[in-house]
């Protein structure tokens, strides 16, 4: 089967002569798979994101997404970052609808189907536990609530690919675990392919089907670990010995990478 995302010998650095940020990446991710990328800070995780979504193009090697070589922004990725980046002049629901004003075919139908789209957004809000918060402005929401709204924005156009760049880094531990469950369930329900960039190993092991550990700059894939833990996974799982040993094993790789 053709993988959904494939990196073949990818090198990339910024500027024409700048040092390499990532080197010799070989990655293939299947459709519907949940992949996590972990590594020390500055290991080129964000570069990996930009390459996948077509915001940057590799110096060497090829990247294929959904059977097509990436030569322009992929147009189907939903993205969420550590900062929610909601627009303060829009209400939460208007923020969530933003991608539909941009992605075809929705942008052409946006006026005509506004009601339907709003209902879709309301349903997503309810899904992430923000029911009734749609008419508030983002600054009236807490950090965790803003992150939930940012997730809705990343999902509203029903993307085939969801890219998460340390989305829970700024949240407290309890909110973070709650959001893990939200992501877990959304992935299970929609079958979206997810790439999660994180430095939280527990997060990676809990959520992902496969974890890639990257080295320090220039980032290379040091290890690829399939997580065979049965789904659906419960938060209790994170306290089991099996889980701990997986986290430990990944940690070894990262520690070696930092030396």
The residues binding another protein (CB under 8 A) are 50, 53-55, 73-75, 77, 79-81, 83, 85, 87-89, 98-99, 101-104, 137, 139, 153-154, 157, 163
Q: How far apart are CA 222 and CA 97, in angstroms?
A: 39
CB of 248 to another protein, least distance (A): 32
Residue among 57 and 131 whose Cβ is closer to another protein: 57
CB of 137 to another protein, least distance (A): 7
CB of 139 to another protein, least distance (A): 6
Residue among 18 and 73 whose Cβ is closer to another protein: 73
Residue ranges of E strands in the chain: 5-13, 20-29, 34-38, 60-65, 68-69, 77-81, 161-165, 193-198, 210-214, 221-226
Other residues' Cβ atoms within 10 Å of the Cβ of residue 177: 16
Q: What angle do CA 130, 137, 131 make, to 5 degrees?
A: 15
Residue among 54 and 144 whose Cβ is closer to another protein: 54
Residue among 55 and 223 whose Cβ is closer to another protein: 55
Q: How far apart are CA 67 and CA 2, in angstroms?
A: 8
Residue among 128 and 150 whose Cβ is closer to another protein: 150
CB of 117 to another protein, least distance (A): 15
CB of 237 to another protein, least distance (A): 32
Q: What are phi and psi of 15, to 5 degrees?
A: 75, 170
Residue among 124 and 213 whose Cβ is closer to another protein: 124
Q: What is the full DSSP assignment across 160-197?
A: SEEEEESTTTTS-HHHHHHHHHHHHHHHHHH--EEEEE
CB of 74 to another protein, least distance (A): 7
List C-alpha distances in Å: 237 to 14, 84, 89, 128, 232: 40, 28, 41, 22, 10
């Amino acid at each position: 089967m053709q993988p959904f995302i494939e990196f073949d010998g990818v090198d990339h650095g910024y500027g024409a002569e700048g040092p390499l940020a990532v080197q010799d990446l070989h990655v293939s991710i299947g459709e519907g798979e949940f992949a996590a990328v972990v590594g020390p800070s500055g290991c080129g995780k964000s570069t990996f994101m930009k390459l996948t979504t077509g915001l940057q193009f590799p110096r060497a090697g090829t990247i294929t997404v959904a059977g097509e070589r990436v030569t322009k922004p992929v147009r189907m990725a939903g993205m969420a970052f550590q900062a929610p980046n909601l627009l303060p002049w829009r209400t939460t629901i208007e923020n969530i609808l933003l991608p539909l004003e941009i992605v075809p075919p929705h942008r052409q139908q946006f006026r005509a189907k506004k009601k339907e789209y709003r209902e879709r957004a309301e349903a997503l809000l309810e899904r992430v536990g923000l029911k009734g918060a749609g008419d508030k402005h983002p600054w009236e929401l807490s950090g965790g609530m803003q992150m939930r709204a940012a997730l809705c924005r990343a999902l509203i156009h029903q993307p085939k690919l969801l890219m998460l760049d340390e989305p829970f880094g700024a949240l407290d531990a309890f909110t973070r675990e709650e959001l893990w469950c939200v992501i877990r369930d959304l992935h299970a329900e929609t079958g979206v392919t997810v790439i999660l960039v994180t430095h939280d190993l527990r997060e990676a092991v809990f959520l992902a089907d496969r974890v890639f550990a990257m080295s320090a700059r220039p980032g290379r894939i040091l290890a690829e670990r399939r997580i065979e833990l049965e789904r659906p996974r419960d938060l209790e799982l994170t306290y089991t010995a099996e889980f701990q040993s997986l986290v430990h094993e990944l940690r070894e790789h990262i520690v070696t990478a930092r030396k």
